[in-house]
Amino acid sequence: MLFDTHVHLNAEQFDEDLQEVIERAKDAGVSYMTVVGFDRPTIKRAMELAEEYEFIYACVGWHPVDAIDMTNEDLLWIEELTAHPKVVAIGEMGLDYHWDKSPKDIQKEVFRKQIRLAKKVKLPIVIHNREATADIVDILKEEDAAEVGGIMHCFSGSPEVALECLKMNFLISLGGPVTFKNAKKPKEVAAVVPLEKLLIETDCPYLAPHPYRGKRNEPGYVKLVAEQIAEIKGISFEEVAIVTTANAKKLFDIN
């Protein structure tokens, strides 16, 4: 029983064979998934999937790379969607300094607006961080994001930063990179962070785990992430599956 907490089955990469991808996920033991929408088309599709499939939940928000495109109407729309029973979190939101489509000040403003919305509607937040750790931590502190907490999605930082995030009421989610042979930091993070504070994800179609690195990722591969964490922690795969699923259900307030 696995919970893939971050999928983009709403991406066009799954248009042709979505049903088969979902069947393979079920065969691999995936019982729940959260599909993440981060702009107009992907939010719409995330909502459709959450309505169509009982085991799919939705997370809706605005991606920092596209922050410059978010209007006030979009933010109001996201707020309306949070009333839907299958919407379990807001995001992905955050900062991405790798791409320069949206200036940093606009990214920060859009990030802050979404944190405030999450506090208003009392939902956890899902954080996307690329090359912006210090500013993310500062904003989470300044906005008192600990009040709602959430997920550091596909965490790639150091064990020290991971422990700082735990103090701010965030869980650490590990994806495909923890399985890469040369991925020192994610493996250290998997070792240091208590299992009760860990989640697993694929971020599919991106970041496929070893041995599928470079190929299209899919939710069934989250099993490889759980197996790697079990190996690093010296515990059973079943324990990783049970505890990370319970962590996700608690955070997303699923029965």
Looking at 40-48, 101-109, 175-183, 196-204, which segment touches Zn ion (CB under 5 A)?
A: 196-204
Which residues in 36-95 contact Zn ion (CB under 5 A)? none
- Contact string (CB under 5 A) for Zn ion, positions 203-222, x = contact: x-------------------
- Contact string (CB under 5 A) for Zn ion, positions 100-129, x = contact: ------------------------------
Q: Which is nearer to Zn ion, 206 or 237 (CB)?
A: 206
Cα dihedral angle (212, 213, 216, 222), rounded to 10 degrees? Answer: 70
CB atoms within 10 A of CB 236: 10
Q: Which is nearer to Zn ion, 8 or 230 (CB)?
A: 8
Contact status, residue 78 vs residue 71, Cβ threshold 8 Å: no
DSSP 7: E
Q: Which is nearer to Zn ion, 4 or 203 (CB)?
A: 203
Q: Which is nearer to Zn ion, 173 or 228 (CB)?
A: 173
Break the chain down into helix, strand, coil percent, rounded to 5: 50, 20, 30
Looking at 167-175, 186-194, 200-208, 229-237, which segment touches Zn ion (CB under 5 A)?
A: 200-208
Supply the angle between the helices 222-233 and 184-192 in degrees, to the nearest 10.
Answer: 70
Give the interface size with Zn ion as a residue count (CB under 5 A): 1
Element of type H or E holding 171: strand 170-174
For the record, the structure tokens of 95 come out as 């900062």
CA pair distance 120, 113, nearest whole angstrom: 11
Looking at 161-169, 173-181, 198-206, 224-232, which segment touches Zn ion (CB under 5 A)?
A: 198-206
- Is the dihedral angle over the CA atoms 124, 154, 166, 111 positive or is it negative? negative
Shortest distance, CB of residue 128 to Zn ion, whole angstroms? 6
Shortest distance, CB of residue 109 to Zn ion, whole angstroms? 21
- Residues of this chain that bind Zn ion (CB under 5 A): 203
